Amino acid sequence: MKAVVGCGVLVLGLGAARGAADPDRDASLATVAERSGYAEATASEQVSALVGSLGRSRLVSAGSIGESAGGRAIPVMVIADPPVAWSVDGPGERGLGGRVPVLLFGSIHAGELCGTEALLMLAREIVASREGGQAQGLGAVLDELVVLVVPVYNADGHAAFGENNRPGQNGPAAMGERANAQGLDLNRDWVKMDAPETRAMVGVLNAWDPLVIVDTHTTNGSNHRFTLTYQGPKHPAGSPVVLSYVRDVMLPRVDEAFEAATGYDAYFYGNFAENHTKWTTYPAEPWYGVAYRGLRNRLSILTEAYAYASFEDRVLSTRAFCEAVLRYAAVNGREIEQIVSVAETGELQRGRAGAPLAVKTEARAFAEPATILGYDEPVESGAHSLRAKIDFETTPAKDYEIPILNNFVATEMVRRPAAYVVPREASEVIDRLRAHGVRLWGIGDGAAQEVEAVRYRVQTVETSERVWQNRLMMELGVAPERGSLEVRRGDAIVVTAQPLGSLASYMLEPRSTGGLAAWGFFNGLSAGDLFPVARLDEAAFVALGLDDEE
């Protein structure tokens, strides 16, 4: 029997049953959700207490990845056997011992608390299983994995518990706010990095290099019967090897194991559109974390528990799905390493070959339709903005065989140059490139050098009327021009044949929908101006004789 949202009846498989902890076993390690029968959620001080309690295990090294905009510590646990000490600088000289690093985090939107509860439970169960010597228990994943858990990423939003912070979802009684103390949505900040939380988390990506990353959420939207939906990387500027592996191999297998263990239904994230004739999803832009991490050539997964399911079902389904990801990664760790290695080799090859880079995309349907579990609703409902309020108990279930618009293709491409030159005056852009971990070069102490370069001449400038995420968005129309360029000491040179070459290229191209130009990093440009970032071909790049900037 499958779980049906709102029916009040659920048959759980073994995987989800393990998520239902016995609070009497050790009250200090039970979450507030468990102790309250899922009426309440675990607040900030209680999260800190649980992390502290778990940190007493020899398997757990607890710390902080950094501070929020409001000055709050962002907690982290490293769970490993043999143990690995937490440090913002990475795992140290001893490294990970050949194990695959996996990162799971919750509450990027602190009104969506199922991930925080689920990850605290999961961490507890890994430790208990390992310390209890359960050969087939969840702790067995530590043979192959080092597990990093950030239970509360948006510490500011999580500290602002209130009853009306995320109205419309089915419990708990109070929850945090969506934004951080700057008023920023942290899941729109991955490219521009205006928030200290984003810098801290990207610092973890740079220092620990998790190959698998899970970002847990709650979603609402149209009426369907999936307790949890999920998504992987989808922007075509990233590695096609990573994209296809996560979408076509890893997620279907994780879903199969999850459904078999729990009785919950799950599918790729989406919403009904046009009166239940399409299943659509959100855009591919890397201001969303799962797409951003895909451009870093890592196996990135988004989970979205359904807001209209009970808080208990949301927590337990998220916990079980994350367990399924861990078990998959433990079994297939060498394959995952190979996928990442192939993707990074391809990244170097694409840079050297001047391969096309997608700067604008659209979602198209896959060749085959899919079965989407919905309800027999009034004809006027279906689109996200037109969700009908229905009685889940009495509305008949209905399955829809419809196109799935989850295949993102390029609608505009440019060829990668051998390198970009970012002028030293664009210090904010250079700062962001460094923070992302992009490798930069410079001409050292020598005199300025003249090279042939391609610059974009600005043809049109359209600026948004309203501020979004504390910035005015910009749309540039440009045309390329070839001419002479003086490269000076302090200018940053970005070679595209590097592990983060696609990410850097996307950020620096003026037509990228979510690039730095779109986020207003080059404000003040007018029609007729030259775009500040120049493009070098292979001959010009070689002629410079570059030194590492760092």
CA distance 27 to 36: 12
Q: Is the pLDDT of residue 23 over 80?
A: no
CA distance 440 to 430: 9
In angstroms, the Cα distances linking 405 to 129, 363, 365, 374, 400 are 41, 6, 4, 17, 14
E strand map for 448-518: 449-463, 474-487, 492-495
Residue among 174, 181, 193 at smallest CA distance from 157:
181
Helix spans in 23-176 (H):
32-35, 44-54, 114-131, 155-158
137-160 tens-digit pLDDT:
999 999 999 999 999 999 999 999
419-437 tens-digit pLDDT:
999 999 999 999 999 999 9
| Six token digits for residue 127 | 């430790």
Report whether CATH 3.40.630.10 matches the domain 14-89+99-354. Answer: yes
Q: What torsion, rounded to 10 degrees, do the Cα atoms 16, 243, 306, 72 define?
A: 90
Q: Is the pLDDT of residue 132 over 50?
A: yes
Burial of 83 (0-12, 13-18, 19+ CB in 10 A): middle
Q: What is the pLDDT of residue 394?
A: 92
For CA atoms 187, 188, 194, 199, the dihedral sign is positive
| Six token digits for residue 206 | 């740079």
Residue among 49, 42, 3 at smallest CA distance from 176:
42
Q: Is the pLDDT of residue 11 over 80?
A: no
| Six token digits for residue 278 | 């399409």
C-beta of residue 383 within 8 angstroms of C-beta of residue 222: yes
Q: Give the distance, in angstroms, between the CA of residue 178 and the centroid of all CA atoms in the same chain.
A: 16
285-318 tens-digit pLDDT:
999 999 999 999 999 999 999 999 999 999 999 9
Pairing verdict, β 228-231 and 266-268: parallel
Pairing verdict, β 212-219 and 100-105: parallel
Which letter, b or e, does each residue of 216-225 get, where b requires 16 or more Cβ atoms within 10 Å of its Cβ?
A: bbbbbbbbbb
CA distance 423 to 440: 12
Q: What is the pLDDT of residue 20?
A: 43
For CA atoms 260, 127, 332, 287, the dihedral sign is positive
Q: What is the pLDDT of residue 8?
A: 29
Percentage of residues in the chain with pLDDT exceeding 70? 93
Q: What is the pLDDT of residue 443?
A: 87
Q: What is the pLDDT of residue 380?
A: 63
Pairing verdict, β 474-487 and 449-463: antiparallel
Residue among 332, 328, 313, 316 at smallest CA distance from 254:
328
Q: What is the pLDDT of residue 79?
A: 98
CA distance 472 to 519: 7
201-237 tens-digit pLDDT:
999 999 999 999 999 999 998 999 999 999 999 999 9
The pLDDT of 248-256, averaged and rounded, is 98
Pairing verdict, β 397-402 and 271-273: unpaired
In angstroms, the Cα distances linking 174 to 33, 108, 309, 319, 333 are 11, 16, 16, 20, 39
Q: The whole model's pTM is what?
A: 0.94
C-beta of residue 211 within 8 angstroms of C-beta of residue 299: yes
C-beta of residue 294 within 8 angstroms of C-beta of residue 245: no
Q: What is the pLDDT of residue 387?
A: 66
Helix spans in 152-195 (H):
155-158
Question: In the chain, which segments carry CATH 3.40.630.10?
Answer: 14-89+99-354
